[in-house]
């Protein structure tokens, strides 16, 4: 097993800025600047919360699970175990003067606790808590210029808890590590709140500010109504609070405040759905809301534009942007492009026709996509010429400028470059099912590094997917061989036996991923007979990355018998995410409008996404998955019109792009 090293002269410098530890201490920390006055209002439902304690916090940067930093100073009204605070007046209004300082680039949020939400007399609700993720401290410390008025209510609480789920432990512990990528991911998470709610009015959005994203407004309002039933009560002794705290659990732990309850629902969106939905909400302050019990409480946004048309592969770059490869053709027109979206706003960065050229054209289709350590996007696929199929590879800059020749980097005749991966050197690896071989290209010149016939052996048999481990070696999932192959990333020589590694339920594997222990996860496709009946709903398999021995049982991890996998990924704490083309046995092969998302425990293989998995009305013919550094899960929906779906804050953040995770030995770990 070799230790991956850089071959390009600039690679060592580039990667040094991404490594953890002393390599990050290249500049002096920024100075804090005095803040300016802030104002806002705290509401429980439609009632002002009187006498609430209002705090200003900065997210921590000393590690995941660390405490947030209280920013208010001695000029405020009072202090308690959470820090110093101001209080709200009879209208729920509050004002924070310049009695705080924030460091440019840190992420801030407002927290409100206790107070009277409209109860008789001067009673308070001791379990009331609400929050609003304000966002980044500006260089001049002038938050008022960016957030002139801060509304704090149940809708802002739901939006904040979901977006910050991967960085949050409870109401006073929002934090990440201090690495540049972690800070970028944290900033992306805070900014994502603006796609869900108007911070100045506290109203859930129906459309993202960029105009090309659909927001599940009714679901967000329903979650807010569930919280409001507890907020507008006497506290834990009330029926609504007791029901909320009993059903919004995490790991068997019940929350004791409404912010943490919202967080636990966000982190366990498949649990106790009916019980939560049934919590009495007599006023239902936020409308429109759901009229029936949903499948789950994930919050999923759907984005269109940027030339997306039947998107297939999907990948994240190092700036938080999401890329996909689109291909669609019919008898009268053919479209093929690479597409890019802003990972924070969801706005399309590529034009209406997508990025073209460099080998991507009307007759050359990209099927998959990967991002190299330098931010370039690579698309792999196939083309048609007079002699038949021809595998093609295209390279684009981070701005969408073609860097490959107009014909792309051509592969040998008869090949089909289905999947693609980038190693630490920026070299490109391709799996070709047609010839049961792997090809390697120089990432700088596009020249072949592998033989003309590719690398063979090790049990390669119609490889459908590849992944690169922390040692730089190449793993391939063999659809026809019901096996997994391992090749030396430096030489291309086979490491696995001639039959590949087998067992653990491997059966027509179609996707592959690696966890933070180096173990190999493979999704096994559903089997449909000649009558269109599903006879095997597929599974996920796990193999030991050091020995190739099966860890999963002989049937694989079946997820209750309803997995129909097409893609797989591992998040930053080792949970495994499987995209299912069908939702349950009741779905027929001809009904593609019921894909689901299954979350597996990476230690046991057990399903932790609830009995019905996660889904969204926007999912349709879903083909691929990627997780970003903010913990958002992105799926590509391969329909003619095309779209991307983002499950907000559903996963633990990961290092992106995947090639940098390989280079820094941080696959499936938090940045």
DSSP 8-state assignment for residue 253: B
Closest CA to 482 of 455, 457, 464, 467: 464
Give pLDDT, residue 26.
30
**Pairwise CA distance, residues 348 & 330, whole Å:** 25
Dihedral sign for Cα atoms in the order 131, 135, 139, 143: negative
Burial class (CB in 10 A: 0-12, 13-18, 19+), 529: exposed
- pLDDT averaged per 10 residues in sequence order, the chain, 671 residues: 36 43 34 71 96 96 96 85 96 90 91 95 94 88 75 98 98 97 96 97 98 98 97 95 97 96 98 94 87 95 93 94 80 70 96 90 84 95 63 93 91 82 94 94 94 94 95 96 96 97 94 97 78 71 97 88 82 96 51 77 93 88 94 88 93 97 95 96
Beta bridge partners of 370: 378
Give the Cα separation of 327 and 311 in Å (integer): 6
Domains of the chain: 35-295 (no CATH), 300-663 (2.120.10.30)
| Exposed / middle / buried, residue 80 (Cβ in 10 Å: 0-12, 13-18, 19+) | exposed
The answer to whether 303 and 213 have CB atoms below 8 angstroms apart is yes
Compute φ and ψ for 427, nearest 5 degrees: -75, 155
- Say if residues 539 and 524 touch (Cβ distance below 8 Å): yes
CA distance 663 to 468: 10
Classify each residue of 402-434 as buried b or exposed e, where b means 16 or more C-beta atoms within 10 Å of its C-beta.
Answer: bebeeebbbbbeebbbbbbbbbbbbbbbbbbbb
pLDDT tens figures, 314-369: 999 999 999 999 886 443 445 688 999 999 999 999 999 899 999 888 767 888 99
For residue range 526-572, list pLDDT tens digits in order: 666 556 666 567 899 999 999 999 999 999 998 765 567 899 999 99
Question: CA of 329: how far to CAs of 416, 591, 614, 641, in Å?
Answer: 17, 21, 31, 12
Do residues 275 and 243 lie in contact, with contact meaning Cβ atoms separated by under 8 Å?
yes
| The dihedral sign for the CA sequence 594, 600, 604, 605 | positive
Alpha carbon distance 48, 2 (integer Å): 63
Question: On the CB side of 61, how many CA atoms lie within 13 Å of its CA?
Answer: 17
The alpha carbon torsion through 215, 218, 223, 227 (nearest 10 deg) reads 120
Q: What is the DSSP letter of 343?
A: T
Taking the C-alpha atoms of residue 630 and residue 654, their distance in angstroms, rounded to an integer, is 8
Q: Which of 221, 228, 227 is nearest to 265 (CA)?
A: 227
Helix residue ranges, H only, 131-174: 143-146, 154-163
């Amino acid at each position: 097993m070799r230790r991956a090293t850089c071959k390009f002269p600039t690679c060592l410098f580039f990667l040094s800025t991404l490594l953890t530890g002393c390599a990050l201490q290249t500049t002096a920390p920024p100075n804090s600047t005095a803040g300016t006055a802030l104002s806002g209002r705290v509401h429980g439902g439609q009632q002002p919360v009187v006498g609430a304690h209002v705090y200003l916090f900065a997210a921590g940067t000393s590690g995941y699970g660390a405490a947030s930093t209280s920013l208010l100073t001695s000029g405020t009204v009072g202090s308690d175990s959470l820090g110093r605070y101001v209080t709200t007046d009879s209208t729920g209004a509050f004002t924070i003067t310049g009695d705080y300082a924030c460091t440019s680039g840190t992420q801030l949020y407002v927290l409100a606790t206790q107070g009277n939400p409209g109860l008789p007399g001067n009673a308070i609700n001791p379990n009331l808590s609400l929050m609003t993720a304000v966002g980044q401290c500006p260089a001049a410390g002038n938050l008022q210029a960016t957030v002139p008025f801060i509304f704090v209510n149940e809708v802002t609480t739901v939006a904040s808890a979901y977006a910050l789920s991967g960085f949050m432990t409870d109401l006073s512990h929002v934090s990440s590590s201090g690495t540049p990528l972690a800070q970028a991911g944290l900033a992306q998470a805070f900014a994502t709140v603006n796609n869900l709610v108007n911070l100045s009015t506290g109203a859930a959005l129906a459309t993202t500010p960029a105009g090309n994203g659909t927001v599940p407004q009714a679901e967000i309002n329903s979650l807010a109504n569930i919280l409001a039933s507890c907020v507008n009560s006497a506290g834990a002794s009330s029926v609504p609070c007791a029901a909320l705290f009993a059903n919004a659990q995490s790991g068997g732990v019940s929350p004791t405040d409404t912010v943490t309850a919202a967080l636990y629902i966000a982190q366990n969106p498949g649990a106790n759905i009916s019980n939560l939905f049934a919590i009495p909400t007599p006023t239902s302050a936020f409308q429109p809301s759901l009229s029936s019990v949903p499948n789950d409480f994930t919050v999923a946004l759907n984005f269109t534009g940027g030339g997306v048309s039947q998107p297939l592969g999907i990948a994240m770059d190092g700036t938080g942007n999401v890329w996909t490869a689109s291909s669609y053709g019919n008898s009268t027109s053919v479209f093929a492009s690479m597409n890019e979206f802003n990972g924070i706003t969801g706005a399309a960065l590529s034009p209406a026709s997508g990025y073209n050229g460099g080998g991507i054209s009307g007759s050359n289709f990209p099927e998959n996509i990967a991002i190299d350590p330098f931010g370039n996007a690579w698309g792999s696929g196939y083309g048609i010429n007079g002699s038949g199929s021809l595998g093609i590879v295209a390279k684009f800059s981070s701005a969408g400028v073609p860097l490959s020749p107009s014909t792309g980097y051509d592969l040998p005749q008869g090949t089909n470059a289905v999947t693609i991966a980038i190693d630490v050197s920026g070299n490109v690896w391709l799996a070709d099912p047609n010839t049961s071989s792997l090809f390697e290209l120089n990432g700088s010149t596009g020249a072949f590094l592998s033989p003309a016939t590719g690398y063979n052996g090790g049990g390669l048999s119609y490889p459908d997917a590849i992944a690169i481990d922390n040692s730089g070696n190449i793993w391939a999932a063999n659809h026809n061989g019901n096996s997994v192959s391992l090749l030396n990333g430096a030489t291309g020589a086979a490491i696995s036996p001639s039959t590949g590694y087998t067992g653990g339920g491997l059966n027509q594997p179609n996707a592959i991923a690696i966890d933070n222990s180096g173990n190999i996860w493979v999704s096994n496709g559903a089997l449909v007979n000649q009558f269109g009946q599903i006879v095997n709903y597929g599974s996920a398999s796990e193999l030991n990355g050091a020995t190739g021995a099966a860890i999963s049982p002989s049937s694989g991890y079946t997820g209750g018998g309803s997995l129909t996998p097409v893609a797989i990924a591992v998040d930053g704490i080792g949970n495994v995410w499987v995209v299912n083309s069908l939702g349950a046995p009741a779905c027929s092969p001809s009904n593609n409008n019921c894909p689901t998302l299954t979350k597996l425990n990476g230690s046991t293989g057990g399903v932790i996404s609830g009995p019905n998995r996660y889904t969204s009305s926007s999912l349709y013919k879903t083909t691929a998955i990627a997780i970003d550094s903010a913990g958002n899960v992105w799926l590509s929906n391969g329909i003619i019109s095309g779209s991307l779906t983002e499950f907000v804050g559903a996963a633990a953040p990961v290092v992106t792009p995947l090639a940098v995770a390989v280079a820094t030995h941080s696959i499936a770990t938090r940045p």
